[in-house]
């Protein structure tokens, strides 16, 4: 059951990321996603109550990392193509999580999983060179994607350790969303003021993206209480395939044989890590 839940969460994650990229004013998109997170977190926390005290520090740390991640994510989409930056950002994380989980949670991977790490790394290099050669123009987007991947690994490890101490993954998720959610709505209002009339039609789309984000990550937190962190992180990142297809069909981004092969290679490595 964990397998299918995490795979589903990966598809949902690719979907809300694509919806965010589709909103041209990405600061406004983050504000709407944050508003959805705040509402969902507040409603859920009223039902679940607070998680165990041992998890509170982890929740607070994760909320800060998630804010940094969101800024990095939007920067990726500003600098590069969705079906290049998304796979690199998401594919970087399992490499770091596998090492971090071994060190922090005493979770060990077998030979097959480490083979998957090597294959995944090769796939990431292929994605970076998907245009045939690495150009100077691509460097900022690739650098931003790798940096974003490191923040993904950081919050994955913090949340994996924290949710196991929480006593209730839903209470942990609720507090996390309630803490991180208000940051961008408040920042948007302070910086931009009221929502411009031309952006009002985007409100529903942004709130839907936020709702999907809440659901996707809540499923991941639940899975982290039932499976090794490296396995959950790896399975979740199979979303790179969904992202590649979304980038091609909805954003009309060039698919190309090199990028197809690289995305498949990344997915194959991720699946081996989870074996």
Best CA proximity match to 154, nearest among 243, 89, 78: 89
Question: Is pLDDT at 255 greater than 70 in this prediction?
Answer: no
Helix axes of 203-224 and 169-180: crossing angle, nearest 10 degrees:
140
For residues 188-198, give the mean pLDDT.
74
Higher-pLDDT residue of 23, 46: 46
Task: Return the minimum-mean-pLDDT range out of 14-18, 204-208, 241-245.
Answer: 241-245
DSSP letter at 251?
Answer: S
For residues 142-163, give the mean pLDDT.
93
Handedness of CA 37, 38, 39, 44 (dihedral sign): positive
216 vs 227: CA distance, rounded Å? 16
pLDDT score at 53: 96
18 vs 88: CA distance, rounded Å? 15
Q: What angle do CA 131, 92, 156 make, to 5 degrees?
A: 150
pLDDT score at 193: 66
Question: Is pLDDT at 77 greater than 80 in this prediction?
Answer: no
For residues 154-180, give the mean pLDDT.
96
Instruction: Place 166 in a pLDDT band, splitting at 50, 70 and 90.
Output: very high
Question: Is pLDDT at 20 greater than 70 in this prediction?
Answer: yes
Tell me the pLDDT tens digit for each residue of 79-90.
Answer: 887 767 877 887
Higher-pLDDT residue of 124, 218: 218
CA distances from residue 236 to 12, 27, 118 in whole angstroms, order as listed: 10, 26, 18
Instruction: Place 197 in a pLDDT band, splitting at 50, 70 and 90.
Output: low
251 vs 247: CA distance, rounded Å? 5
pLDDT score at 214: 95
For residues 60-83, give the mean pLDDT.
88
Cβ partners under 8 Å of residue 226, min gap 6: 2
Domain ranges of the chain: 2-273
For residues 157-182, give the mean pLDDT.
96
For residues 31-39, give the mean pLDDT.
95
Question: Is pLDDT at 260 greater than 80 in this prediction?
Answer: no
pLDDT score at 203: 86
pLDDT score at 95: 79
DSSP letter at 137?
Answer: G
Give whichever of 5-14, 34-43, 222-231 has the largest mean pLDDT. Answer: 34-43
For residues 65-86, give the mean pLDDT.
84
Task: Return the minimum-mean-pLDDT range out of 7-11, 214-218, 249-253, 265-269.
Answer: 249-253
pLDDT score at 156: 93
């Amino acid at each position: 059951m964990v397998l299918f839940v995490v795979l589903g969460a990966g598809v949902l994650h690719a979907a809300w990321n694509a919806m965010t990229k589709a909103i041209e004013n990405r600061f406004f998109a983050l504000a709407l996603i944050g508003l959805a997170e705040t509402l969902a977190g507040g409603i859920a926390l009223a039902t679940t109550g607070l998680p165990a005290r041992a998890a509170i520090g982890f929740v607070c740390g994760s909320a800060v990392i998630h804010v940094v991640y969101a800024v990095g994510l939007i920067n990726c989409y500003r600098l590069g193509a969705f079906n290049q930056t998304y796979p690199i950002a998401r594919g970087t994380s399992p490499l770091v999580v596998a090492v971090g989980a071994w060190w922090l949670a005493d979770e060990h991977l077998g030979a097959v999983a480490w083979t998957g790490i090597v294959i995944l790394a090769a796939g990431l290099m292929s994605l970076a060179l998907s245009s045939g050669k690495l150009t100077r123009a691509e460097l900022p987007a690739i650098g931003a994607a790798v940096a974003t991947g490191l923040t993904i690994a950081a919050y994955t490890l913090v949340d994996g350790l924290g949710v196991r101490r929480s006593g209730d993954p839903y209470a942990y998720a609720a507090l996390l969303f309630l803490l991180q959610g208000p940051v961008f709505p408040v920042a948007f209002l302070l910086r931009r003021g009221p929502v411009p009339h031309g952006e009002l039609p985007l409100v529903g789309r942004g709130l839907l993206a936020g709702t999907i984000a809440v659901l996707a990550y809540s499923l991941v937190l639940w899975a982290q209480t039932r499976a090794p962190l490296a396995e959950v992180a790896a399975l979740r990142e199979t979303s790179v395939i969904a992202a590649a297809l979304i980038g091609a069909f909805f954003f009309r981004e060039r698919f190309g044989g090199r990028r197809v092969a690289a995305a498949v290679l990344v997915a194959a490595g991720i699946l081996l890590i989870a074996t």
